[in-house]
Amino acid sequence: MVVGDIEVGTDLLVVGAGPAGYTLAIRCARMGIDVTLVNRNELGGVCLHKGCVPVKTLLHVFRLAEDCKNASGMGINSDGVSVDFKKAYAWKDTVVKRLETGIRELCRGSGVQVMEGTCSFTSSSSATVNGPSGTQHVVFKRAVIATGARHKPLPGLPFDGKQIIDPNEVLSFDEKPEDIILLGGGYAGVTMAALMVAQGKRLTFIHKNSQIMSFLDDDLLQPVMKKFKEKGVKIYSSSSWSVKRSGDKVIVDLGQDGKKDSVSADKLVPVIGMLPNTDGIGLENTGVRTNKDGYIMTDGNYRTDDRALYAIGDARDRHCNASKAFRDGMSLADILSGKPGWPEYIALPQTISTEPEIASAGLTETAAKNAGIEVITGKFPFTASGKAVSMGKTEGFVKVVAEKSSHRILGVHVICTDAFDILQEGVLAIEMGARLEDIALTLHPHPTLCEAIREACAAALGTSTNVVPGSS
């Protein structure tokens, strides 16, 4: 140890303060465990700083402006409504800052010791933290790796901030109307595409799979694809691509069904997957093992091959998801305090900030059929919802998937404005093992968007009075 260094001793070292890490740290501290939380920069992780929260905040601003413009028929004088990008981004920063302050206060109030810096393990019981106040050595009894994940760059084409853009930087794009190519058709790609469309970019969207977000049923995507096309987004599906720079343009050559095609733009945003932040943190000095993609391998109780080290959140799971990360944190906190941890969840809610929004939980019709489960489905379009009509937002529908024999609800998929906020009835139904009848026989407040979930269940049972049979 270098003379003059300060050695910090802690019972539990938590590396990374995203949803998984800070939830774990706060809960452990409240249960009386001595916790030190190390974080590279701000508290809150990708979710708060580069993902869910800022994206949703900016989209809210852009959509508010658009809603006003579209509301002239409702009597709103919206001449001259526009978004001041600078102020919108400042508002986003205010939102993020406020929420971060909340997390910081929760940590402080719960007795979590927060250290800022980059953490690197030096053994199974020690680490160094390089921060603004120099290098500190930390000795711990147990440690939790919650370092999250980052966007994967294109092989051989690192992000350069000019032409090849890290998806995180989309959050600070200005109002210049540029041509942009987005590569990748996953969950994050679609979200970024929606944001860039709102920012007024001329977007070309290239994806490799036969469809965008192949984990969803085709029909769930139609309202979103329709909206993209209305906004002038060009969509390509390609079995292969190659990227090159040419002057101040980026060119993508596509191999499409044997044909060759070429697209050029000012900027390229590759959203081709995530890389776990498990490199450069000294795992080679521990017994932790990672799989070929770098994700940390653990047992069912989040424990790595190094018995003193645990891993939670995106660093161990390619299904990057904040809801899941919060739960990992809660569950491991219980395990570390000698309890059995939380049971497996059944439904993982997924929220996709498109227009209209997509919120989905449980099995899709396709997934159930592929697994040999006989299902019935029910759909209810928002064109038949009093609330949606009154808001002038009738795009989308609710689709429920239920086991044919038992009517047990296995999947609920909502496509509409504010879909995130009405999905939860479906998540609870799946977790509780509710049947279509349970929801259909439950009173719903009126007029609301959530009535659509009841109506979809009723439609599956053939008892809906609000749609014409066979119309969906």
Active site residues: 446
Quick check: 346 binds another protein (CB under 8 A)? yes
Integer Cα distance of 405 and 374 in angstroms: 8
Contact 418, 357 (CB under 8 A): yes
CB of 435 to another protein, least distance (A): 7
Which range touches another protein (CB under 8 A), out of 41-49, 238-246, 339-347, 447-455?
339-347
Nearer to another protein, 356 or 411 (CB): 411
Quick check: 215 binds another protein (CB under 8 A)? no
Binder of another protein out of 82, 94, 262, 406 (CB under 8 A): 406
Find the Cα–Cα–Cα–Cα dihedral 426, 428, 433, 434, rounded to 10°: -60
Token readout for 172 is 């600070």
Contact 29, 17 (CB under 8 A): no
CB of 157 to another protein, least distance (A): 13
Which range touches another protein (CB under 8 A), out of 14-22, 128-136, 366-374, 461-469?
366-374
Which range touches another protein (CB under 8 A), out of 348-356, 365-373, 383-391, 445-453?
365-373
CB of 371 to another protein, least distance (A): 4
Integer Cα distance of 119 and 281 in angstroms: 6
Quick check: 433 binds another protein (CB under 8 A)? yes
Contact 331, 165 (CB under 8 A): no
Token readout for 248 is 């101040």
Nearer to another protein, 65 or 348 (CB): 348
Quick check: 403 binds another protein (CB under 8 A)? yes
Quick check: 4 binds another protein (CB under 8 A)? no
Question: Could you tell me how many residues of this chain bind another protein (CB under 8 A)?
Answer: 37
Quick check: 469 binds another protein (CB under 8 A)? no
Q: Which of residues 145-164 bind another protein (CB under 8 A)?
A: 155-156
Token readout for 430 is 């799946």
Nearer to another protein, 328 or 451 (CB): 328
Quick check: 34 binds another protein (CB under 8 A)? no
Token pair 């049971």 is at which residue?
A: 343
Quick check: 373 binds another protein (CB under 8 A)? yes
Token readout for 76 is 């709103």
Kindly list the distances between the CA atom of residue 312 and the CA atoms of 123, 220, 303, in Å, as whole numbers in the listed order: 19, 31, 9
> Which residues have CB under 8 Å from 68's CB, separation 6+?
76, 78, 81
Nearer to another protein, 65 or 346 (CB): 346
Quick check: 32 binds another protein (CB under 8 A)? yes
Token pair 């760059």 is at which residue?
A: 153
Q: Which of residues 257-296 bind another protein (CB under 8 A)?
A: 289, 291-292, 295
Which range touches another protein (CB under 8 A), out of 63-71, 341-349, 418-426, 444-452?
341-349
Nearer to another protein, 151 or 435 (CB): 435
What's the helix, strand, coil split of the chain in %, to 5? Answer: 35, 30, 40
89 three-state secondary structure? helix
Binder of another protein out of 4, 343, 445, 470 (CB under 8 A): 343
Binder of another protein out of 49, 151, 393, 435 (CB under 8 A): 435
Quick check: 363 binds another protein (CB under 8 A)? yes
370 three-state secondary structure? helix
Judged by phi (left if over 0) then psi (alpha if -120 to 50, else beta), residue 151 lies in beta
Q: Which of residues 167-186 bind another protein (CB under 8 A)?
A: none
Binder of another protein out of 6, 76, 432, 441 (CB under 8 A): 432
In 3D space, the residue among 70, 17, 2, 9 whose CA is nearest the CA of residue 329 turns out to be 17
Integer Cα distance of 56 and 76 in angstroms: 24
CB of 68 to another protein, least distance (A): 42
Which H or E element spans position 263? strand 259-265
Identify the sign of the CA torsion 272, 66, 388, 53: positive
CB of 430 to another protein, least distance (A): 8
Q: How far is CA 394 from the centre of its chain?
A: 25
Q: Which residues pair with 408 in a beta bridge?
A: 435
Which range touches another protein (CB under 8 A), out of 88-96, 170-178, 236-244, 424-432?
424-432
Residues near another protein, by CB under 8 A = 32, 155-156, 289, 291-292, 295, 297-300, 316-318, 339-346, 363, 367-368, 370-371, 373, 403, 406, 408, 410, 430-433, 435
